Structure 1
Amino acid sequence: MDHLLMLMLQLLLLLRSSEPGDVRLVGGASHCAGTLEAKHLGEWRPLCASHDSWTLKEAAVFCEYLDCGSAVHVEERHSSYKSAWSISSDCVLSRSPLRECTTSDYTDQILKLTCADSVRLLNGSSLCSGRLEVKSNQSWSSVCEADFDQQDAEVVCRELGCGPPSVLQGALYGEVEAPVWSKEFQCGGHESALLDCRSSGSARNSCSPGKAVGLTCSESDDVRLVGGPSRCAGTLEAKNLGEWRPGFLSTLKEAALVCQYLDCGSAVSIQTAHSSFKFVWSILSDCFPLRDCTTSDYMNKILNLTCSDSVRLLNGSSLCSGRLEVKSNQSWSSVCEADFDQQDAEVVCRELRCGPPSVLQGALYGEVEAPVWSKEFQCGGHESALLDCRSSGSARNSCSPGKAVGLTCSEPDFRLVGGASRCTGTLEFKHLGEWRPVYGFFWTLKEAAVSCEQLDCGSAVYIEMVDSSRTTGWLISSDCVLSRSPLRDCATSHYTDQILKLTCSDSVRLLNGSSLCSGRLEVKSNQSWSSVCEADFDQQDAEVVCREFGCGPPLVLQGAFYGEVEASVSSKEFQCGGHESALLDCRSSGSARNSCSPGKAVGLTCSESDDVRLVGGPSRCAGIVQYQISLTTS
């Protein structure tokens, strides 16, 4: 009996720990529309987005949770300040229990959400495609093709805020064992909802395999560039729910999706311009189709985007690399190596506003079955666009395998300026030919470590945002840096009064560690990095290195702890007193060592303890959070 009671108690605890918490929509025309509220810790509050914008993708999760239809609209609305529950986009999309990622917040923005009451599309490639289901008497049913036609499809697509129907085909999005709607729809095509249509009862209660309605609504003509010199340049506008508004995006990566969508070439530049405050459609990164990634926003900026008209690079590792294609007569063609040389490459890289060409090699970015450009380019190297170059006709209409031009243009540079050495100072980035300071939103030492590595400096020691006079800088997100994406792809112009200051160590670094305060030790001398042998390094030397990195005292000093590599070995024995501020300030004696026995290269772990505490509370486990970071004074 006691054993059974214990099992029941454990089950009760499990259910409580996994309970996602209640969610509802209030103040709308139905239970599927209104302000989004969540019940957490016994209290109903509005739900707000945590430091990011929500799109229809996040809304779709809640529509499903509420047993409503497909997501139609989501927006953030200004209101009076109030307590809210904050939840991140990542948490929603991962479908984690809300109680695990809900935090208390105080905000003047609330989320308003509209789901369809009684229709949904399942298993589609976007929110405007899928297998159609209709809700009646609290249950969902598939619809048979024989009971559904083009006019019915027009109504569904309009009800979901999508474009006109483009494909209506059974089994396009899978077949399932599900009830089948028993009425034939008879829409005129003008109705606002499918259940507003007339219908006639039928005897159907099943549907032949492959005959359940699969519907694709179009998403075309929802983005455009206006007011520019061509259809591939101008002010970005987006259409959502039948309304054209200015569109806003942050980086060239996002711009590349728009350029591709418009059948233009590669993304070349984005620039923001100030305007009066208005509602805009904000387009989020790495998201397609665009409708699924668009959220309503309120801002005083518009965005001007330039795509190249007639050249693009495909399948590259960045926007400055890929297989070259040229557009003529509304179609794209590859270019054969025999018709393209270094001067031609210089023109293409300049046209795309990248650095000079660094690699020109066939098949570097894949081969495709595609038309081949039939002219040989004869650029002088000074032209501003490839199609401005002279060309001579050739008889070529095919290209040997591996001979389609693959081009890599060099990436722009960045630097640290105004510091005591080239490894410390204000971080500046050169983009579109212009050096500007970097505004690093939510950067930490992790992002700094990537920058230090790219500058060939040592480990990251310190990072801070410093107030300055208002200036135009480059905004580069944390995600972009940590993913090691080319910074050009995710830099956007930003007007700011804060700049980023960064300190890297000049001549020591820790590699392959579990944190920035651990790893295999390397020392820089004469522009090259060398490992250090255990026999030439002791506890006092380790104290100096840990202090130089702004870490706590050394905890572990052990060879091969963080891997062995084939690398040169420092030929000096360090003789630190333990008080020095940098390892290379220590005395050293030359040794005959130029190699190190396997497992004997120094692996060092500095402590990171006592850097967080809670103070002012009833115990050491409650109170105000305080954080300590050790800084070098050199």
Structure 2
Amino acid sequence: MDINPLLLLLLWSSGLQAEVKHDSTEFMRLVGGASRCAGTLELKHQGEWRRATSGDVVDYFEMEAAAAFCRDLNCGSAVSLRKRQVSYQSLWLLIAECRPDYDLPRCVMSWNASSVLELTCSDSVRLLNGTSLCSGRLEVNYNQSNQSKQSWTSVCEDHFDQQDAEVVCRELGCGPPSILQGALHGDMGAPVWSKEFQCEGHESTLLDCRSSNSTRSSCSPGKAVGLTCSEPIRLVGGASRCAGTLEMKLGEWRPVDGDNWALREAAVACKQLDCGSALAIEHRKSSDRPVWRIQHDFVRSRFPLREFVIPVNSSSTVDLTCSDSVRLLNGTSLCSGRLEVNYNQSNQSKQSWTSVCEDHFDQQDAEVVCRELGCGPPSALQGALHGDMGAPVWSKEFQCEGHESTLLDCRSSNSTRSSCSPGKAVGLTCSEPIRLVGGASRCAGTLEMKLGEWRPVYTMARTLREPAAFCKHLDCGSDVSVKKRELSNTPMWLLRFFCEPSYFSMMGCLQSPTITSESFTTGSVMELTCSGKPIRIRIRIRILY
């Protein structure tokens, strides 16, 4: 009898971790690769070695899980993960959320499938205790020749520079280094690497670099190299580095399947690309091919994209457009946050973002920014509304007239100040581009939203919760009546089902229809009639004498 993997996921999620732990290398290995840290994952269960699978249909084995296996095999960081097709055979199925340090009999069961897991871990470097797979305290394996006894050492920051960091980040399949700082991810407990690295930056691995003996065998407290590499993602084929088809590298560059993505997912990718705010997202269909799928729950988790990647075959890819000149950070929606301006657009490899002092910024400047980001008119402009600056301060005063397309199109004059008083970094809230059209008042009509252009909104909402959120946002009260109306031959925006409108903004729930040979032009749109009465909170105070 076939067992549904989904049922296994539910069963496992309610289970408990085993109290007994074993030496992981007794029960797992990587075979057929270039080293003990690369190859097809095999597990030993009930005395029998078999190749491992995560199933052919349900797939949940992400890079985060791969990193746990690398760590327990005493290898370096996880570099790549892929599924390889094989003949239909009996394999060991890894049940959801299984980790090597759990009792394997509770994590593994016999399963017939036609795909196996191939994993590549670094065998020379690793990053520990970081907030992502691409950050942590650097350790180097100085005993690679002894397969049975690996020896990892920390590295002193006096022996390590930016070029060395570039090699490590590339070796681990990450993007360029963004932070290099001693004790950023804890101090060393291991011995200290006794040589000074002298990389030129082009080497494939850190141990390919030249090195010289150091006179020191210890390192001062707080001096262990802590490294953060950027995410290995890029946009290709667009007008700038901040526009195009989203690709990710896990061993190789592949397009990203963004079938479930809306603008809020795009915003996370734009931020990790060190671009500005997300402006647009488009879904495209092509022939079926290997892609990386990033599970959409990464938005709530705030973890980096790489942790949520699984290899799949899909015909769906995603195109993003991010601003390359302005962005809003730390806000409660896509249209709010602390304003930053990119003053180094000409240098594609090194973007430089600065905060703006409110003394240099007025209402007309705010109108230009809100329009540039595809939002509605500004509703709040206040210093330190979304945190104070940590970046340098923009040294010019903007003099927008209000009609400009972008903030950097505005005239500006040099300022005599190069710093800004605490609490004076521009915090901006723009309204969301939502309207009701064709009704008897501004609080009634067909719901439309703007994502580059105004379109009616197609939604599968089955309760009044989402429509009420739109009425509230329009300052039209929270009571609402809804009618569905069928439209044809009209381009629409999709409001993603189960997307919480109040979380990460209503605009963040918008998707563009998949671009195929036929446009998405037929479906149900919402006609809302809101109460028209803004919400008021009444407070009754009784004074007792």
| TM tier relative to shorter chain | 0.5 to 0.7
- 1:229 equivalent to 2:239? Answer yes
Mark the CA change 1:16 to 1:361 in structure 2 (over 3 Å): closer, same or farther.
closer
Match of 2:494 among 446, 450, 474: 474
Q: Whole-Å Cα distance in 1 between the matches of residues 319 and 388 of structure 2?
A: 33
Q: Whole-Å Cα distance in 2 between the matches of residues 85 and 262 of structure 1?
A: 35
- Is 1:335–1:372's contact at 8 Å kept on the other side of the alignment? yes
Max Rg structure:
1
| Superposition deviation, residue 321 in structure 1 | 0.4
Q: Whole-Å Cα distance in 2 between the matches of residues 500 and 37 of structure 1?
A: 50
- 1:325 equivalent to 2:344? Answer no
| Superposition deviation, residue 25 in structure 1 | 5.0
Mark the CA change 1:187 to 1:293 in structure 2 (over 3 Å): closer, same or farther.
farther
Mark the CA change 1:276 to 1:360 in structure 2 (over 3 Å): closer, same or farther.
same
- Is 1:164–1:217's contact at 8 Å kept on the other side of the alignment? no
SS in 2 for 1:264: coil
**Greater displacement, 55-64 / 427-436:** 427-436
Q: Whole-Å Cα distance in 1 between the matches of residues 306 and 164 of structure 2?
A: 22
SS in 2 for 1:408: strand
For structure 1, the 5+ residue unaligned runs are 1-13, 461-465, 507-523, 531-564, 569-634
| Superposition deviation, residue 449 in structure 1 | 7.0
Q: Whole-Å Cα distance in 1 between the matches of residues 137 and 109 of structure 2?
A: 34
Match of 2:264 among 235, 250, 253: 253
The residue correspondences of 1:134-153 to structure 2 (distance < 5 A) are 134=141, 136=146, 138-143=148-153
TM (normalized to structure 1)? 0.57
**Partner amino acid for 2:240?**
S
- 1:46 equivalent to 2:53? Answer yes
Q: Whole-Å Cα distance in 1 between the matches of residues 303 and 122 of structure 2?
A: 21
| Superposition deviation, residue 427 in structure 1 | 9.6
Q: Whole-Å Cα distance in 2 between the matches of residues 111 and 170 of structure 1?
A: 36
| Superposition deviation, residue 319 in structure 1 | 1.7
The residue correspondences of 1:93-132 to structure 2 (distance < 5 A) are 110-117=116-123, 120-128=126-134, 129-132=136-139
Q: Whole-Å Cα distance in 2 between the matches of residues 453 and 97 of structure 1?
A: 48
**Greater displacement, 123-132 / 164-173:** 164-173
**Partner amino acid for 1:233?**
A
Q: Whole-Å Cα distance in 2 between the matches of residues 488 and 340 of structure 1?
A: 25
Mark the CA change 1:87 to 1:567 in structure 2 (over 3 Å): closer, same or farther.
farther
Match of 1:273 among 251, 276, 284: 284
Mark the CA change 1:172 to 1:438 in structure 2 (over 3 Å): closer, same or farther.
same
- 1:487 equivalent to 2:496? Answer no
Mark the CA change 1:52 to 1:385 in structure 2 (over 3 Å): closer, same or farther.
farther
SS in 2 for 1:143: strand
The residue correspondences of 1:472-621 to structure 2 (distance < 5 A) are 474=494, 476=496, 478=498, 480-481=499-500, 484-495=503-514
**Partner amino acid for 1:488?**
M
Q: Whole-Å Cα distance in 1 between the matches of residues 522 and 42 of structure 2?
A: 35
**Corresponding residue of 2:76:** 69
- Is 1:362–1:404's contact at 8 Å kept on the other side of the alignment? yes
- Is 1:237–1:244's contact at 8 Å kept on the other side of the alignment? yes
Match of 1:28 among 25, 32, 41: 32
- Is 2:155–2:225's contact at 8 Å kept on the other side of the alignment? no
TM (normalized to structure 2)? 0.64
**Corresponding residue of 1:408:** 429
Give the number of aligned pairs. Answer: 481
**Partner amino acid for 2:255?**
P
Question: Can you list the C-alpha shifts for 1:255-307, whole angstroms capped at 9, x where unaligned?
Answer: 33443444432221122233333333445534665555554443334433222
| Superposition deviation, residue 82 in structure 1 | 7.1
Match of 1:309 among 324, 329, 338: 324
Question: Can you list the C-alpha shifts for 1:28-57, whole angstroms capped at 9, x where unaligned?
Answer: 336644444667899966224986654422
Mark the CA change 1:105 to 1:392 in structure 2 (over 3 Å): closer, same or farther.
farther
| Superposition deviation, residue 59 in structure 1 | 0.8
SS in 1 for 2:151: strand
- Is 1:360–1:408's contact at 8 Å kept on the other side of the alignment? yes
Mark the CA change 1:454 to 1:186 in structure 2 (over 3 Å): closer, same or farther.
closer
Once superposed, what is the RMSD of the aligned Cα atoms? Answer: 5.9
Mark the CA change 1:99 to 1:454 in structure 2 (over 3 Å): closer, same or farther.
farther
Question: Can you list the C-alpha shifts for 1:62-101, whole angstroms capped at 9, x where unaligned?
Answer: 223444432121124455677874644xx35898777778
Sequence identity percentage: 45
Q: Whole-Å Cα distance in 1 between the matches of residues 62 and 28 of structure 2?
A: 18
Mark the CA change 1:276 to 1:97 in structure 2 (over 3 Å): closer, same or farther.
same
Match of 2:393 among 371, 374, 377: 371
Mark the CA change 1:238 to 1:69 in structure 2 (over 3 Å): closer, same or farther.
closer
**Partner amino acid for 2:238?**
G
| Superposition deviation, residue 352 in structure 1 | 0.5
| Superposition deviation, residue 313 in structure 1 | 1.4
Q: Whole-Å Cα distance in 1 between the matches of residues 531 and 193 of structure 2?
A: 80
Match of 1:385 among 398, 403, 406: 406
- Is 2:455–2:491's contact at 8 Å kept on the other side of the alignment? no
Higher relative contact order (CA 8 A, sep 6+): 2
**Partner amino acid for 1:377?**
Q
Mark the CA change 1:222 to 1:365 in structure 2 (over 3 Å): closer, same or farther.
same
- 1:299 equivalent to 2:280? Answer no
**Corresponding residue of 1:601:** none
Question: Can you list the C-alpha shifts for 1:441-493, whole angstroms capped at 9, x where unaligned?
Answer: xx9x8xx5752652569999xxxxx9x99987536364x52882213224332
Mark the CA change 1:487 to 1:187 in structure 2 (over 3 Å): closer, same or farther.
same
Q: Whole-Å Cα distance in 1 between the matches of residues 45 and 495 of structure 2?
A: 35
- Is 1:120–1:133's contact at 8 Å kept on the other side of the alignment? yes
**Partner amino acid for 1:229?**
A
| Superposition deviation, residue 320 in structure 1 | 0.5
Q: Whole-Å Cα distance in 1 between the matches of residues 150 and 221 of structure 2?
A: 17
Q: Whole-Å Cα distance in 1 between the matches of residues 293 and 353 of structure 2?
A: 30
